[in-house]
Amino acid sequence: MLRVFKLMVGIICLTMCLQGCKYSFKGTSIDPDVETFSVDVFDLRVINAPPTLGQDFSNELIEKIQRESRLNLADTDPDIYFEGAVNTFEVTAPSPEAGERTAFNRLNISIVVDFYEAKKDEKTWSQTFKYFFDFQTDENLLDIQDEALENIYAQLVEDVFNKAFTNW
C-alpha cells in the first residue's frame, strides 16, 4: 500500500513538472503556441550556382522541419518563417602540395538565413551558415555536383534546424 502511494505521488509530481515544459522531440524545443511554419524560396545572389539551388535548399529545409517537428507547413500567416539567400557558390583549391599543385578542390556554399516569429512581428535572428565538399582535382564539378550538393544541403539544413529549434 505504501509503495502504491509513493508511486502515485511520484507520477503526480512528474506530471506537474512536465506541464510547464515546452514541446520537446528529438532534442527540439518549440513553444507550444507555435503550430505552423513557412520557408520562402532562398534567393540566389551568385551567378555561377545551379538555378535551382535556392528552391532545392528551401525544399530540404521544409522536409526536415516536417520530419523532425510537430509543425505544419502553412501558406499564409505562419507562426514562424524562414527566408534567406545563397551568398557563395565557389570552387577553391585550399590544399596546395609541394611544387604548388593542389591536392583537392573544395566547393564552398554559404547561405544567410533570416528567422522570424510572426507574433513578435520582427526578425528573431539572422545568421550565415557555411559548408563545403572536397573533391579530387581530376574530377569535374558537374560530375560530382549532385553528391556534393546533397552533402552540403544535409549539413546546412541541420545547422539551420538546430539554430531555430534547439537553441545552440
Residue 65 pLDDT: 97
Note if the pTM is more than 0.85. no
Q: Looking at residue 1, what is its pLDDT?
A: 58
Q: Among 164, 93, 94, which Cα is nearest to 129's?
A: 164
> Per the structure block, which three cell numbers stand in for 96?
596546395
pLDDT of residue 98: 66
Break the chain into its structural domains and give their ranges.
Answer: 26-165
| pLDDT, tens digit (0-9, with 9 covering 90-100), for 6-22 | 444 444 444 444 443 33
Rounded Cα distance between 38 and 61, Å, is: 10
Please give the Cα distance from 65 to 50 (Å, whole number): 24
Would the pLDDT of 34 be above 70?
yes
Residue 60: other Cβ atoms inside 10 A: 20
Predicted confidence at residue 13, as pLDDT, reads: 45
Q: What is the pLDDT of residues 102-135, one digit of tens each?
A: 678 999 999 999 999 988 777 789 999 999 999 9
- Domain 26-165 sits in which CATH superfamily? Lipoprotein like domain (3.30.160.150)
Interval 60-108: pLDDT, tens: 999 999 999 999 999 899 999 999 999 999 999 876 666 666 678 999 9
